[in-house]
Amino acid sequence: MKLDPELELWRSEWQSATESPVTADLRRRVTRQSLYMRWLLVAEILITIVIGGATIFVAAIDPRAAKIILAAATWLFIAAAWTFALISRKNSWSPADSTTSAYLDLCIRRTRTALRSVIFGAVLYAVEMAFCLSWIFHETSSLNSTTIEIVTAITALFAIFLIRYRSRKRAELAYLLNLQLE
C-alpha cells in the first residue's frame, strides 16, 4: 500500500522541522535555571556547614548562655531557610514532560517561587538582623556607630538587590504568562 505523497511530504517536513525559537528559549532557560539551582544548593550546604558549624564550635569552646543562644538561633534560621528551600523546590527540578507546555509551566512555577523567595528572604534578613543586633548589644552593652553603619550599608545593598531581582522576575513572569495565553 502506497501512502499519499502529500501526506508523506508533510510527515517528512514535520519530522525534519527545527524547534521553534520560543521552545528553544524555554529549554535554554530551564537548563540555565537548573544549573543555577544546583549551584545554589551547593552554596546552601556550604553555608550550613561553615556558619552552623562555626556557631557550634564557638558554643563548645565557650559554653556561656549567650554563645549557646547564638548557636541555637543560627540553627533555627538555617532550619527555616532549608524548610522554605525544600518546599519551594518541590517538583521544580525538571519539567513533567518534554513538551513546550511543560517547560513553560516549569518556568512559570520557578518564577513564582523566586518572587516568594524575595519576600521570605527580606523577612528572614530582618529577623536575623534584629536578633544579631540585639545579641551584640547584649554582649557589648552598646552598638557602636561602625556596626550600625555596616549593617545599614549591607541592608541597603540587600534591599536594592531584592528590589531589582523582584522587578526582573515580575517582568519575566508577565512574559511567560503572556506566552502561555498565546
Q: What is the pTM of this model?
A: 0.82
Write the CA distances from 166 to 44, 105, 111, integer angstroms.
Answer: 21, 19, 10
Q: 173 lies in which domain range?
A: 18-181
Q: Establish if 6 belongs to a structural domain.
A: no
**For residue range 42-75, what is the model confidence (pLDDT) as tens digits?**
999 999 999 999 999 999 999 999 999 999 999 9
Q: Establish if 33 belongs to a structural domain.
A: yes
**For residue range 146-169, what is the model confidence (pLDDT) as tens digits?**
889 999 999 999 999 999 999 999
Q: Establish if 10 belongs to a structural domain.
A: no
Q: Establish if 3 belongs to a structural domain.
A: no
**For residue range 32-48, what is the model confidence (pLDDT) as tens digits?**
999 999 999 999 999 99
Q: Establish if 1 belongs to a structural domain.
A: no
Q: Establish if 12 belongs to a structural domain.
A: no
Split into its structural domains, the chain has a count of 1
Q: Establish if 108 belongs to a structural domain.
A: yes
Q: Establish if 81 belongs to a structural domain.
A: yes
Q: Phi-psi category of 97—alpha, beta or left, where left has phi over 0 and alpha has psi -120 to 50? A: beta
